[in-house]
């Protein structure tokens, strides 16, 4: 805890440095390029612009941020890091370890972030006792998005377990529609795998395999069963899935070409952006068998250090991000839920209210787990090695037994 005296001294230093600093634009590297994501980003841009801070946009397309992180590495290597960067989980820790991130403790202390940001997020927002990133949201990956008209027409209720889910998929397939809208990109395959592993093995298994990287769990029959289920899912995907962007898969559900998409709640941003309403046009429910669990990822903005003090524009961005009114306005559009526990749910739709309630319940009951697919279970080197195995299996290169063996090896090599 910072003493009042040191807080005051810190504030004075910040005030001095901010008044001396010339008004600068904030340059923001991010991967929010889909319609729904761009609409949410606009809320942030406008907030900053209303404070007289210009926005230099540095978008790097590619869901999940893999490409964005490659571009970031190149920028830092060439000595020209952006001011602020959208980042996930262990990527923040990795950059903090390198000493590249600005210290946000003065702002965090002034604004009481310690008291309002959930502990599961603080684990990634802070490094070595210092706040190094400003959390903007909490997403989660174990969701299914469904076209309500198709489900009504075929008499399908939201499935509660794996068998009911397969029966529903079969019904859709028999009707001639695509059962599962999917984009064949490694991070999307892995997003489904998050939920499938949770549903197949339960939360303790998920913890052991993805977070503790326990070899026995990784090499188990349960993991083989999870891969078998991925093969079942693969059989309900249309022929053109390969390489498709996630938001184009969401559009298939929006347009009534497909019944379901398994995707994080950023998908809701696409439905809303298309003027669709929850419970009228689309349904949101937890992946069957994971009703009590939440596999989360949180977008945070890390500020790259430009000198001993955090920049004026960086401080303004961090403050804007953590403001309760912004957290509500932004997350309503993005599909995520607030990264503060004290934001009212009034402005949120039914899926958003469910997301907020699920998160609280999961956190209180020990059912909140970091998403492997989105960098909150293990560092990028391991995550990417897992991606390779999951994708090779999804595309039929490996059978389930080989995939299990490859998963164990991938973790052994990269641990």
Binding region for ligand GAL (CB under 6 A): 31-32, 37, 63-65, 88, 139, 246, 266, 297, 299, 374
* Least Cβ distance, residue 312 to ligand GAL (angstroms): 26
The dihedral over CA atoms of 54, 56, 62, 63, expressed in degrees to the nearest 10, equals -20
Query: Judged by CB, which is closer to ligand GAL: 127, or 266?
Result: 266
Give dist(CA 244, CA 236) in Å, integer.
15
* Least Cβ distance, residue 121 to ligand GAL (angstroms): 12
φ/ψ of residue 139, rounded to 5: -100, 170
* Least Cβ distance, residue 31 to ligand GAL (angstroms): 6
Query: Judged by CB, which is closer to ligand GAL: 385, or 403?
Result: 385
* Least Cβ distance, residue 297 to ligand GAL (angstroms): 5
Query: Judged by CB, which is closer to ligand GAL: 86, or 105?
Result: 86
Query: Judged by CB, which is closer to ligand GAL: 264, or 311?
Result: 264
Q: C-alpha distances in angstroms, 394 versus 50, 226, 227, 381, 399?
A: 47, 12, 8, 20, 9
* Least Cβ distance, residue 344 to ligand GAL (angstroms): 22
Q: In 362-412, where do the E strands start and end?
A: 368-370
* Least Cβ distance, residue 383 to ligand GAL (angstroms): 11
Q: In 43-201, where do the E strands start and end?
A: 55-59, 84-88, 126-127, 130-131, 133-135, 139-140, 143-147, 178-180
Other C-beta atoms lying within 10 Å of the C-beta of residue 325: 11
Query: Judged by CB, which is closer to ligand GAL: 37, or 349?
Result: 37
* Least Cβ distance, residue 181 to ligand GAL (angstroms): 15
* Least Cβ distance, residue 143 to ligand GAL (angstroms): 12
Contact 164, 151 (CB under 8 A): no
Query: Judged by CB, which is closer to ligand GAL: 189, or 299?
Result: 299
User: Which residues, in sequence order, are CB contacts of 385 under 8 Å at separation 6+?
Assistant: 410, 411, 413, 414
Query: Judged by CB, which is closer to ligand GAL: 81, or 269?
Result: 269
Query: Judged by CB, which is closer to ligand GAL: 187, or 260?
Result: 187
| Furthest C-alpha separation in the chain | 70
Query: Judged by CB, which is closer to ligand GAL: 286, or 374?
Result: 374
* Least Cβ distance, residue 81 to ligand GAL (angstroms): 20
Contact 25, 55 (CB under 8 A): yes
> How is residue 117 annotated by DSSP?
S
Other C-beta atoms lying within 10 Å of the C-beta of residue 267: 28
Query: Judged by CB, which is closer to ligand GAL: 250, or 400?
Result: 250
Closest CA to 318 of 299, 297, 301, 304: 301
* Least Cβ distance, residue 245 to ligand GAL (angstroms): 9
SS3 assignment, position 311: coil
- Nearest residue by C-beta to ligand GAL? 63
The dihedral over CA atoms of 372, 374, 379, 383, expressed in degrees to the nearest 10, equals 60
Q: C-alpha distances in angstroms, 279 versus 219, 226, 274, 283?
A: 40, 30, 15, 5
> How is residue 1 annotated by DSSP?
-
Give dist(CA 316, CA 168) in Å, integer.
49
Query: Judged by CB, which is closer to ligand GAL: 62, or 203?
Result: 62
What sign has the CA pseudo-torsion 372, 227, 66, 278? negative
* Least Cβ distance, residue 25 to ligand GAL (angstroms): 23
């Amino acid at each position: 805890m910072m003493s009042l005296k040191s807080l005051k001294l810190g504030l004075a230093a910040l005030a001095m440095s901010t008044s001396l600093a010339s008004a600068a634009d904030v340059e923001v590297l991010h991967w929010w390029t889909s319609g729904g994501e761009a609409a949410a980003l606009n809320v942030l841009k406008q907030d900053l612009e209303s404070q007289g801070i210009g926005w230099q946009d540095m978008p790097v397309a590619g869901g999940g941020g893999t490409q964005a992180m490659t571009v970031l590495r190149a920028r830092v290597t060439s000595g020209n890091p952006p001011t602020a960067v959208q980042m996930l989980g262990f990527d923040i820790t990795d950059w903090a370890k390198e000493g590249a991130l600005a210290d946000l403790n003065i702002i965090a202390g002034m604004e009481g972030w310690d008291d309002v940001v959930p502990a599961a997020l603080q684990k990634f927002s802070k490094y070595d006792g210092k706040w190094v990133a400003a959390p903007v949201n909490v997403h989660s990956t174990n969701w299914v998005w469904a076209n309500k008209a198709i489900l009504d027409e075929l008499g399908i209720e939201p499935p509660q377990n794996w068998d009911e889910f397969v029966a529903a998929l079969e019904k859709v397939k028999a009707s001639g529609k695509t059962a599962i809208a999917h984009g064949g990109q490694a991070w999307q395959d892995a997003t489904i795998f998050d939920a499938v592993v949770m549903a197949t093995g339960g939360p303790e298994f998920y913890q052991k395999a993805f977070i503790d990287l326990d070899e026995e769990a990784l090499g188990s029959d349960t993991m083989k069963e999870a891969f078998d289920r991925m093969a079942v899912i693969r059989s309900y995907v249309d022929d053109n899935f390969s390489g498709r962007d996630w938001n184009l898969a969401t559009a298939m559900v929006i347009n009534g070409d497909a019944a379901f998409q398994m995707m994080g709640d950023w998908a809701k941003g696409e439905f809303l952006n298309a003027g669709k309403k929850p419970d009228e046009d689309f349904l949101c429910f937890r992946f069957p068998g994971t009703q009590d669990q939440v596999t989360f990822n949180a977008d945070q903005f890390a500020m790259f250090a430009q000198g001993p003090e955090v920049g004026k524009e960086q401080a303004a961005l961090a403050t804007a991000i953590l403001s309760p009114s912004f957290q509500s306005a932004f997350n309503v559009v993005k599909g995520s839920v607030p990264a503060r526990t004290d934001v009212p749910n009034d402005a949120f739709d039914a899926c958003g209210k469910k997301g907020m309630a699920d998160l609280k319940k999961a956190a209180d009951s020990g059912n909140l787990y970091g998403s492997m697919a989105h960098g909150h279970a293990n560092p990028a080197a391991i995550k990417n090695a897992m991606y390779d195995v999951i994708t090779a299996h999804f595309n039929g290169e490996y059978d389930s037994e080989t995939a299990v063996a490859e998963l164990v090896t991938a973790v052994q090599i990269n641990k």
